[in-house]
Amino acid sequence: MTTTELEKGTSLWHDATLRLKKNHAAMAGVVVLAVIFLACLVLPSIPDLLQDPNAQSLALKNRPPSGEHWFGTDHLGRDIFSRVLYGGRISIAVGIITTAVSVTIGVCWGALAGYAGGRTDDALMRVVDILYALPFLIIVILLGKAIEPWTVDLTNWAVDLFAGKEASVSRQNETRTWVEPITTLVPLFIAIGALSWLTVSRIVRAQVQNVAKQDFIEAARSLGLGHARILFRHILPNALGPIIVYTTLTIPGIMLFEATLSFLGLGVKPPNSSWGILIEEGANRMASNPWLLFFPSLFFASTLFALNFLGDGLRDALDPKSSKD
């Protein structure tokens, strides 16, 4: 009994978890992320807990942080605490959904190129080379602007879908209030996601090429397995480490990107708000009301810090060879 227990090998993932747990910076990152994500995703969904982020009150304008308004209020008397949490929800959603879009495209593209090889590989990677040389921010701005008009149709379609075509006007409006904030973000997801998969595809291609050379793939092929099965069941799971690491490091990049666009007035649109928009509003009034800039920046920077530390920690844990020390 004891010998079998002793002889039980440890898996890669088990080792990696142990290494990650020893990394204090990464674990601190996990805790910070958990706190911020829970606060932003859960608190706004509890009814009557937070003040309405868009409720204006001239009597309450420009209040510094106090017991009633933890983070103070802005020039329209809106509560910054609830604005930061509601804005965080959008920023996090954009970060995660766009990363999912981008990683999905990148994994498929890179896996296909690496597995097919030859001319297919050349053609696919040439496309990546060309897209790499484009000025990213500028193309995203143009692409986002170009698909913006579709959001009206998309919103109407989604309202019909969820409320039913024959629904009463009040029911349609009710559906619209929660559908619209989501559909107006879709251009952003598509525009950023459509161009940010390039690095993922290069990483995945290199990984797939490495794994595909190994004997167990040869064995799988001689057993007569189909290409799709070999690629998705045998090759990709073995390339998962770098994909996870890169995904973690892509989220902060994309959140920063969304904030930049929103700061320039080209990203998230009011009445939606995001950390980028709050920072922009705060930056305009920072001389007299510094808390307007401080709290959104604090949440935003902490999230980026945590994700970057976690990403670095995951890289050290999953791939000890590439560790920085």
Partner 1 sequence: MIRQILNRLGQGLLVLFVLFTLTFFLVRSLPTGPFKTERAIPEHIQAKMEAYYGLDQPLLVQYQKRLVNLLSGDLGLSLRLEGREVSEIISQSFPVSLQLGLVAIVLAITIGVPLGILAAWRKNSLTDYGAMALAMVGICIPSFVIGPVLADQFGRRMEILPAMGWSPLSPAFWILPALTLGLISAAYLSRLTRAGMLETLNQDFVRTARAKGVSEGRILSHHCLRGGLIPAVAYIGPAFAAIISGSLVIESIFAIPGLGTHFIKSIETGDEPVITGVVLLYGSLIILANIATDLLGVWLNPRLRSTR
Chain positions 274 to 313 lying near partner 1, rule: CB under 8 A, are 276, 279-280, 283, 286-287, 293, 297, 300-301, 304-305, 308-309
Q: Give me the amino acid identity at 16.
A: A
Q: Is 273 helix (H, G, I), strand (E, B) or coil?
A: coil
Using CB under 8 A, pick the residue from 14, 21, 24, 145 that binds partner 1. Answer: 145
Nearest CB to partner 1, comparing residues 16 and 249: 249
Residue among 54 and 156 whose Cβ is closer to partner 1:
156
Distance CA 164, CA 142 (A): 34
In sequence order, which residues have a C-beta less than 8 Å from that of residue 292 and are 6 or more positions away? 72, 74, 80, 278, 281, 282, 285, 286
Residue 304 beta carbon to partner 1: minimum distance, rounded to whole angstroms: 4
Does 149 participate in binding partner 1 (rule CB under 8 A)? yes
> What letter does residue 51 receive in the DSSP assignment?
P
Shortest Cβ 272–partner 1 spacing (Å): 18
146 lies in the site for partner 1, by CB under 8 A: yes
Which residue of 95, 181, 252, 311 would you call a contact of partner 1, by CB under 8 A?
A: 252
The sign of the torsion formed by the CA atoms of 55, 65, 30, 48 equals negative
The answer to whether 130 contacts partner 1 (rule: CB under 8 A) is: yes
Task: Estimate the crossing angle of helix 80-116 against helix 275-284, to 10 degrees.
Answer: 130
Is 27 among the residues that bind partner 1 (CB under 8 A)? no
Site for partner 1 in 257-276 (CB under 8 A): 259-260, 263-264, 266, 276
Q: Could you tell me the smallest distance in angstroms from the CB atom of residue 254 to partner 1?
A: 13
Task: Compute, in degrees rounded to 10, the torsion defined by CA atoms 73, 74, 78, 84.
Answer: -80
Assess 32 for contact with partner 1 (CB under 8 A). Answer: no
Nearer to partner 1, 32 or 240 (CB): 32
Among 76, 136, 167, 171, binds partner 1 (CB under 8 A): 136
Q: How many residues bind partner 1, per CB under 8 A?
A: 39
Closer residue to partner 1, CB minimum distance, 189 or 263 = 263
Reading the block at residue 117, the tokens are: 């090889």
Question: Binding to partner 1 by residue 324, rule CB under 8 A?
Answer: yes
Binding of partner 1 by 135 (CB under 8 A) = yes
Residue 192 touching partner 1 (CB under 8 A): no
Sign, CA torsion 217/219/221/226? negative
Check binding of 134 to partner 1 (CB under 8 A). Answer: yes
CA proximity to 236, closest of 256, 259, 257, 209: 209
Q: Pick from 25, 15, 27, 33: which is nearest to 317 by CA?
A: 15
DSSP state of 261: H
Residue 129 makes contact with partner 1 by CB under 8 A: yes
Q: Between the CA of residue 91 and those of 82, 105, 133, 150, 256, what are the distances in Å?
A: 14, 21, 27, 22, 9
Given candidates 76, 100, 141, 190, which one binds partner 1 under the rule CB under 8 A? 141
To which residue do tokens 């009034």 refer?
Answer: 285
**Residue 225 CB neighbours (<10 A):** 15
For binding to partner 1 (CB under 8 A), which residues are involved?
Answer: 129-130, 133-139, 141-143, 145-146, 148-149, 252, 256, 259-260, 263-264, 266, 276, 279-280, 283, 286-287, 293, 297, 300-301, 304-305, 308-309, 324-325
